[in-house]
Amino acid sequence: MDRDPAMRLLHVPQTTMFRTVFFTAAVLCSLTVTGQPQPTIQTNVPLVLVPVTVADRKGALVDGLTVDDFILSDEGVRQKIHLDTSDTVLAPVSLVLAIQCSDISSTALAKINRVGGMIQPLIAGARGSAAVIAFDDEIRVIQEFTSDSTKIRSAVEQIHGRSMTVGRMLDAVAESATMLGAEPQNRRRILIVIGEARDRGSKTKLEQAIEQVERAGVVVYPATYSAYLSPWTAKSQDNPPTGGGLLTGLSDLLKLGQTKTADALARASGGTHFSFETLRGLEASLTKTGEEIHGQYLLSFVPGSSDNQGFHRLEVLVPSRAEVLIRARAGYWPGN
């Protein structure tokens, strides 16, 4: 197996998207679907941006849609929208890669350690940057934001199992949202969480983590595994004891089946939840993540006045293509 599979994946086209930020009306007026410049008005307006993934029933991305194909509603009120695609969106990506490093994850980490070279070229892109954090019973920043693929790969390679069972995923999501929220406003904010599908020991509640992600404009892509199934797909040298017996494993699998933490984070933010057990499966998950991020439509609109200063629920429809599957953020918070 090639240690740096990213070199085989550089064919993925680059594109970018924005998220809820404040822009001048000049940006809204100068970027049209046809790409023709228009007269600018120098005034500040709150621009809500909605990245949208459109796929067919087999999961293939659907391209070629125009602004007339979309309907976007804010609290049930249809909005006048603007559309950008890969040809017109210019904002770079800021990405946090959060990796669970509990000792029970050691066999999965043996696979994860090998994919760090994929992150910069495949997902962050040439103009983007990525940071790496590890989480078990604490949250540690292994690598601050960088565009250096070698540093990103090195950071991923040095993450190894530590505490036995603690995996504070929701605390890691909250920390990642804080890091991404401090990035420049014109950057797309992406969080990839590689770990189990459920949380182990966070102080942050699921509802709090979702709100922080929504307020920071972060799209979450969980790539999850079972810590008790992963050893069955690993090489013997990558299979250290986890301290859990068969009954412990079965008990945890039942709990994992009842918990939808990763699903909830992906659904609320407009991302996708992937799962894997093998190295090839992890590479495929990251490949699909990169393809989706760089194959989205970007809808934007200027919201009207509203008495609702809380969460605004959004709905995106494509009436002309009733058979497609649509993924978009659930809503936004005014002023964020």
* pLDDT tens readout for residues 101-139: 988 888 899 999 999 999 999 999 988 999 999 999 999
Of the candidates 199, 17, 11, 235, the one whose C-alpha atom is nearest the C-alpha of residue 98 is: 199
Specify the higher pLDDT residue, 104 or 30: 104
125: left (phi over 0), alpha (psi -120 to 50) or beta: left
Same domain, 165 and 188: yes
List the alpha helices (DSSP H) in 24-168: 25-30, 106-112, 116-118, 149-157
Specify the higher pLDDT residue, 187 or 97: 97
Residue 4 within a domain: no
Question: What's the rounded Cα separation, in Å, for the pair 315 and 327?
Answer: 10
Same domain, 265 and 138: yes
pLDDT tens-digit series, residues 222-238? 999 987 655 444 454 44
Residue 264 within a domain: yes
Per-residue confidence band for 185, with pLDDT thresholds at 50, 70 and 90 = confident
Region 311-329: mean pLDDT is 94
Region 41-49: mean pLDDT is 56
Residue 8 within a domain: no
Q: Across the beta sheet with 129-135, what order do the strands follow?
A: 139-146, 129-135, 93-100, 188-195, 218-224, 274-275
Predicted confidence at residue 258, as pLDDT, reads 40
Same domain, 284 and 322: no
Q: Are strands 21-24 and 331-332 parallel, antiparallel or unpaired?
A: unpaired
Residue 177 within a domain: yes
Same domain, 104 and 210: yes
Predicted confidence at residue 87, as pLDDT, reads 53
Per-residue confidence band for 221, with pLDDT thresholds at 50, 70 and 90 = very high
Same domain, 80 and 146: no
Name, of 159-168, 170-179, 220-229, 248-257, the range with top average pLDDT.
170-179
Same domain, 125 and 264: yes
pLDDT tens-digit series, residues 254-305? 444 444 899 999 999 999 999 998 999 999 999 999 999 988 898 989 998 8
Residue 15 within a domain: no
Residue 229 within a domain: yes
Of 37-41, 160-164, 187-191, 217-221, which gets the smallest average pLDDT?
A: 37-41
Predicted confidence at residue 208, as pLDDT, reads 96
Same domain, 147 and 25: no
CATH of the domain at 238: 3.40.50.410
Region 8-33: mean pLDDT is 37
Number of domain units in the chain: 2
Predicted confidence at residue 184, as pLDDT, reads 87
Domain extent at residue 220: 93-293
Burial of 331 (0-12, 13-18, 19+ CB in 10 A): middle
| Average pLDDT of the chain, as a whole number | 80
Residue pair 292/247 in contact by the 8 Å Cβ criterion: no
Residue 7 within a domain: no
Name, of 36-45, 180-189, 266-275, the range with top average pLDDT.
266-275
Same domain, 81 and 97: no
Residue 226 within a domain: yes
Same domain, 317 and 188: no
Predicted confidence at residue 253, as pLDDT, reads 40
Same domain, 46 and 136: no
Same domain, 54 and 153: no
Per-residue confidence band for 85, with pLDDT thresholds at 50, 70 and 90 = low
Predicted confidence at residue 88, as pLDDT, reads 55
For residue 87, the 8-state DSSP code is T
Predicted confidence at residue 24, as pLDDT, reads 34
Region 183-212: mean pLDDT is 92
Asked if pLDDT for residue 7 goes beyond 60, the answer is no
Query: Biggest alpha carbon distance in the chain?
Result: 68
Same domain, 308 and 269: no
